[in-house]
Amino acid sequence: MQIRYVYLLSGLLAYLLAAPITVQFLPQANFVLVDLALVLVLVAGARSLMGFKRIFRIGVTLAVSWVTLEVVYLFSKSEALVVIVLLVALVFVVLVGFIAMRDVLYGGEADQNRLMGAMCVYLLIGLAWAYVFTLIHVFSPTSFEGIAGPTTEAHAKAIQFLYYSFVTLTTLGYGEITPASPVAQTLAYMEAVSGQFYLTILVAALVGMLLSRRPSGKESRA
């Protein structure tokens, strides 16, 4: 059996660990380089799902655009590029998540590969919401309380919203960062609800299908 989601899942987990470490312990390193590594991870992961060739070609186009914009931002530090970079990143992450979701839902029998794919989709959901919250903060800096530092440091802000997104998605709700505007509050509870729906419906269904394929005690003794 080909486990197609190993690299995507490993890359996402590595990014979620490396990004905050880079910001905290390597402030001299440019976080754009971490973003570029994320692009490579997502492209490599989506590459294994070549059954959707047209969507994959769109994804590659978005990935190239993302890399180009990140490189330009690396040298120019233009604030005008921040919103464009975030929008392209959001669309690209959503597209990769869509490809993976289709494969998880319609990829045949439930097996370990589809379970790993479901885990990838869950992480991509949290990543996509992080970009949404970062965009809201860029347009309206008063939408969230507890965000430290200047609002123009979009990449550093993305790490804070990455934390906030997964805290919201898993309904931990520590409270360091709180939504202060109606739009931010609405999107926050929408993420929490979507995370619970995803876990209870999709993952539970996949686990149930996987367990149903195992032979029962009588069958195994026969």
Q: Residue 199 pLDDT more than 50? A: yes
25-29, 105-109, 111-115, 200-204: the lowest-pLDDT one: 25-29
Residue-averaged pLDDT of the chain: 78
pLDDT band at 185 (very low <50, low <70, confident <90, very high): very high
> Residue 158 to residues 52, 115, 122, 164, 198: CA-CA distances in angstroms?
30, 28, 18, 10, 23
What confidence tens digit (pLDDT) does each residue in 23-64 have? 777 665 556 666 777 777 777 666 655 556 677 777 778 878
- What percent of the chain is modeled with pLDDT above 90? 19
